[in-house]
């Protein structure tokens, strides 16, 4: 599933494609639902409006007009692309037609994505209870430490809780914990303020570096341009079970925490 860096890369691609603020001329739905029903009437109220910006909240994309916006989640296999006439593909579920002949296509073979009308991010049910954005200055070691007080779950599991911090996800939680030298099974409530500062710094660095490298293309992720990311070639622990640690030479271990595969070095992460 695309995580925050991958969604941010898609956002940047869509922002570049829509930078001239074209007018939305038609919303063409090839099916009535994805993961949930698509509110066609509400979304079509945006026809005739310019797309002013493309924003991101957690793993959601927000295409804004003066009258409201379109909220998109890529699910596990969702992609957006420019689709010229004749470029219709199996599993294309949504076409957005804009002035100047521009057409965007949303393709999603497994249909776990989400598409909705949005008026206010503070009140939309998918967004209103989300935690802080990890790349903003407001996400600090102090704020993370405070949010973990009393949490008995493993730290890796807590980092994937969208009320603690949004968008870190399975890959980047494993990588950040390795970079910070912290064992993923540590009880979240046991993380010290000092180590929380280190961990937050590593989360910010790793997410930023992944965005710069186009995200991690494992499974079906592709940028809006159709290109793959390549951050996965720099993974230090994720997906490297039984391989030698690149830092100390010991074997990387793996176990399931919170239902997700977790990777760590028993020597580097005490």
Q: What is the DSSP string of 126-186?
A: TTTT----TTSTT--HHHHHHHTTT--SBHHHHHT-TTTSSS-HHHHHHHHHHHHT--TTS
Q: For the CA atoms of 44, 226, 91, 68, what is the dihedral angle to 10 degrees?
A: -20
Kindly list the catalytic residues. Answer: 2-3, 59, 260
Q: Any idea what DSSP says for residue 243?
A: S
Q: Are 60 and 72 in contact (CB under 8 A)?
A: yes
Q: Are 252 and 245 in contact (CB under 8 A)?
A: yes
Q: Any idea what DSSP says for residue 250?
A: P
Q: For 227-234, which contacts have Cβ atoms below 8 Å and span 24 or more sequence positions?
A: 229/5, 229/6, 229/9, 231/5, 234/209
Sign for the CA dihedral angle at 148, 245, 260, 205 comes to positive
Q: Which residues of 173-207 are buried (b: 16+ CB within 10 A; e: fewer)?
A: bbbbbbbbbbbbbbebeebeeebbbbbbebbbebb
d(CA 240, CA 196): 25
């Amino acid at each position: 599933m695309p995580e925050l860096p991958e969604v941010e890369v898609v956002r940047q691609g869509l922002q570049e494609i829509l930078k001239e603020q074209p007018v939305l001329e038609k919303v063409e739905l090839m099916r009535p639902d994805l993961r949930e029903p698509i509110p066609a009437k509400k979304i079509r109220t945006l026809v005739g409006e310019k797309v002013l910006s493309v924003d991101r909240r957690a793993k959601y994309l927000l295409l804004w007009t003066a009258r409201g916006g379109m909220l998109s989640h890529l699910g596990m296999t969702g992609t957006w692309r420019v689709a010229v006439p004749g470029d219709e593909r199996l599993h294309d579920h949504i076409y957005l037609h804009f002035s100047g002949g521009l057409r965007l296509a949303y393709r999603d073979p497994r249909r776990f994505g989400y598409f909705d009308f949005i008026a206010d991010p503070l009140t939309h049910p998918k967004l209103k209870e989300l935690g802080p954005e990890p790349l903003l200055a407001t996400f600090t070691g102090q704020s993370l430490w405070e949010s973990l007080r009393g949490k008995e779950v493993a730290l890796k599991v807590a980092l994937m809780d969208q009320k603690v911090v949004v968008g870190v996800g399975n890959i980047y939680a494993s990588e950040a914990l390795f970079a910070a030298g912290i064992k993923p099974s540590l009880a979240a409530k046991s993380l010290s303020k000092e180590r929380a500062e280190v961990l937050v710094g590593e989360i910010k660095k790793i997410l930023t570096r992944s965005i710069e490298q186009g995200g991690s293309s494992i499974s079906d992720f592709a940028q809006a341009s159709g290109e793959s990311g390549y951050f996965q070639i720099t993974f230090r622990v994720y997906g490297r079970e039984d391989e030698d640690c690149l830092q100390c030479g010991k074997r990387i271990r793996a176990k399931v925490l919170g239902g997700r595969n977790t990777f760590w070095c028993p020597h580097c992460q005490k």
